[in-house]
């Protein structure tokens, strides 16, 4: 995630922060390519305790594609009323796009 912030100097009784953020992720796992199966059924694997049953030559495939894009903006302000009292308020707006 990339985030940018602007902040006040903090030398008054009111301080603030403004910002924006962006995140993008493209994730792919597995394959539907017939030359790259996830499982080949009916094969004995000596190093695997629990065998997967199936007809010899049967294959299993798996593919997962996930794309994420996130954009946000935010702001917060604090008013220091006294030495021990601060009033604060903030807002955040966010847009998330998912492709599963």
| 24-55 tens-digit pLDDT | 999 888 877 777 776 666 555 666 655 556 66
Question: What integer pLDDT is reported at residue 36 of this predicted model?
Answer: 73
- Do residues 19 and 73 make contact, with C-beta atoms less than 8 angstroms apart? yes
Cβ contacts of 53-60, under 8 Å, gap ≥ 24 = 59/34
Quote the CA–CA distance of 49 and 67 in Å, as a whole number: 36
The domain spans of the chain are 2-99
Residue for token pair 């603030």: 16
Question: What integer pLDDT is reported at residue 31 of this predicted model?
Answer: 78
In the predicted structure, residue 8 carries a pLDDT above the cut 70: yes
Quote the CA–CA distance of 15 and 79 in Å, as a whole number: 7
Question: What integer pLDDT is reported at residue 50 of this predicted model?
Answer: 56
């Amino acid at each position: 995630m990339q985030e940018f912030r602007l902040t006040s100097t903090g030398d008054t009784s009111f301080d603030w922060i403004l910002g924006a953020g962006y995140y993008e992720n493209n994730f792919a796992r597995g394959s539907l390519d017939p030359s790259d199966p996830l499982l080949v059924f009916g094969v004995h694997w000596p190093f695997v305790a629990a065998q997967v049953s199936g007809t010899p030559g049967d294959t299993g495939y798996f593919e997962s594609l996930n794309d994420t894009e996130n954009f946000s903006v935010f702001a917060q302000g604090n008013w220091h009323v006294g030495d021990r009292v601060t009033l604060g308020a903030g807002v955040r707006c966010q847009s998330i796009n998912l492709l599963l």
